[in-house]
Amino acid sequence: MSTTTLTTGTAPVRVSGLTVRHRRTTALDAVDLDFGTGVHGLLGPNGAGKTSLIRVLATVARPTSGRVELFGGDLGNARERRAARRQLGYLPQDFGYYPGFTVREFVAYVAWLKEIPAAETGAAVERAVERVGLGDRIDAKLKTLSGGMVRRVGIAQAVVNSPRLLLLDEPTAGLDPEQRVEFRSLLRELGEESTVVVSTHLVEDVAAACTGVTLIERGTIAYRGTPASLAALGRDGDEADGNAIERGYTTALRVHRGTEAGR
């Protein structure tokens, strides 16, 4: 299946031959990928390998084999891995937090972990919290917040260091429709200067916010292109089967599965 080149110049993120195994299960199978500046959506069925890819890029999991480069540094090198972490923002599906902390205290704690200078921490924390629409709750304890608000705090901690690479795993879980619209706007803003990789099940988020889309199926790359090119695959389908990009997603999976079965 033809795809679209998604990077311009030197890619901040590049993986080659990336394989991740969990006991007898292969989560990623010799994957080659690169991500440039912009917002890149990761789509795929449950268990496809999206979270495994995000975790490796976030340096919280090691690959079984292959090479991962962030900003030109090899994550196999401990010093370069630590340097890369200072430039990362990461929101896992389930992030740990201290319920007795206020929003300000928690985001400041993460800023400290990311080695933001003390003189810059206060302004960085307030800026991050404002960006997710929680400025009026900055001194509220996390245990008093709704699930959607806690999720927004998770996004705030991910962006507090103005990361060059932002990794988000199902970031809109728990957000209401209005908050999701605001979040998409934030993603587009961040993607103007940074590399943002978003794992999601919601193709409408990809259509609205992403400049590129990568579809993963059973640990392999099933499709790479733009939201428009993916939608084009489903343009002539039955509207009863969803919108064009949803139909394109289904078509891309079907074609990939047929190709794999024919090998």
Other Cβ atoms less than 10 A from the Cβ of 187: the count is 24
- To the nearest whole percent, how much of the chain has pLDDT over 70? 94
Q: How far is residue 87's CA from residue 165's CA, in Å, rounded to a whole number?
A: 6
pLDDT higher than threshold 80 for residue 146: yes
Three-state DSSP class for residue 224: strand
Q: What confidence score (pLDDT) does residue 67 get?
A: 95
- The residue type of 39 is V
pTM: 0.89
Which of 252, 263, 195 is closest to 35 using CA atoms?
195
Confidence at 144, pLDDT banded by 50, 70, 90? very high
Q: How far is residue 52's CA from residue 137's CA, in Å, rounded to a whole number?
A: 33
How many helices (H) and strands (E) the chain has is answered by 9, 10
Every domain of the chain and the residues it spans: 94-162
Q: What confidence score (pLDDT) does residue 102 get?
A: 98
Contact 239, 249 (CB under 8 A): no
